[in-house]
Amino acid sequence: MRREPIDPSGLEWSRVSPKYLRVRLLGWLIGSVVWLVLASVPLVLRLTGLWDSFPPPVIAWGLPAVVLVIAVWRGVLLPRQVASIGYAERDDDLLVRQGVFFQRTMVVPYGRMQYVDVAVGPLERAFGICTLKLHTASPATNALIPGLPSEEGTRLREQLSARGEARLAGL
């Protein structure tokens, strides 16, 4: 994977499943179409002559154009965003990273984990992937690893639970 400047050196990042990109692209496609349809309503009204006085042409054309540009931009960015998601298991802690422009790397010591969630939505189930979330005593700990293959998610959950138990340290 592409090494970002914020990456710590000497770490082997595990990448998420390529299927996750497809899930995200599908979600992006559906979302973009819905937004585009909604944003095109003034334009359609104007073109069909149903209501040709209200939306000035700037808004009628500008709104869908802006939505289209944002959608395309997000679509172009999506593969890189998905590629930027990574996690690394170390002896004492788990590292999770994400983000292309706004990068974030989080370290969660195993002994701090209170519980581990594995969640699967309908779309994710169809592609055989899952989302894993770590919880510590702080609700601000937002350690989310999406797009794990199901068996990898199960393995990681068991592994994290076992390591958390071995290193459990109250609060």
Partner 1 sequence: MTAPPGSSGGLPAAPAPDGPEATAPPADTWHRVHFISPLVRGWIALVAILYFVGRDWFEGLFSGGSRERGPLPEGIGLLVAGGIVLGVVVVVAAAFLVSWYFTRYQVTAEHVRVHSGVVFRQQRQARLDRVQAIDIVQPFLARIFGLAELKFEVADAGESAVRLAFLKLADARRLRATILARAAGVDPDPEHPEEAVEAPEREVVAIPPARVVGAAVLSGTTVALVVAAAVVTTLGVVLETPIIATSFIPILIGVVGAYWSALNTGYNFRAATSPDGIRMRYGLLDTRSQTVPPGRVQALSIQQSPLWRLKGWYRVTVNVAGYGASVSSEGQARATLLPVGTRDEVLQILALVLPDPGTPRPVEVFTAGMAGRDGAEGFATTPRRARWLAPLAWRRTGFVGTRTALLMRSGVLWRQLVVVPHERTQSLSIEQGPVERRFRVSNLQFQTTPGPVNPRVLLADSATAWELFHGQAARAAEARRRSGPEQWMKPVPGALPAAAATGTTEDTAATADTGAGEAGFTGDTGQTRHDDAGTPQDDARPAPGVRDVMPEVPLYAPAPGGTEEPADGR
Element (H, E) at 86: strand 86-89
Among residues 110, 111, 106, 92, the alpha carbon closest in space to that of 142 is found at 106
Q: How far is the CB of 55 from partner 1 (least distance, A)?
A: 35
Q: Does 122 bind partner 1 (CB under 8 A)?
A: no
Residue span binding partner 1 (CB under 8 A) among the ranges 14-22, 60-68, 109-117, 153-161: 109-117
Q: What mask of x and - would describe binding to partner 1 in positions 37 to 76, judged by CB under 8 A?
A: ----------------------------------------
Residue span binding partner 1 (CB under 8 A) among the ranges 54-62, 75-83, 136-144, 148-156: 136-144
Beta-carbon count within 10 A of 53 CB: 6
- For helices 57-84 and 18-48, the axis angle rounded to 10 degrees is 180
Q: Does 166 bind partner 1 (CB under 8 A)?
A: no
Strands across the sheet containing 93-98: 14-15, 86-89, 93-98
Q: Which of 62, 79, 109, 149 binds partner 1 (CB under 8 A)?
A: 109
Residue span binding partner 1 (CB under 8 A) among the ranges 58-66, 71-79, 137-145, 146-154: 137-145
CA 42 to chain centre: 32
Among residues 105, 101, 155, 109, the alpha carbon closest in space to that of 132 is found at 155
Chain residues that interact with partner 1, rule: CB under 8 A: 5-6, 8, 92-93, 101-109, 111-112, 136-141, 143, 169-171
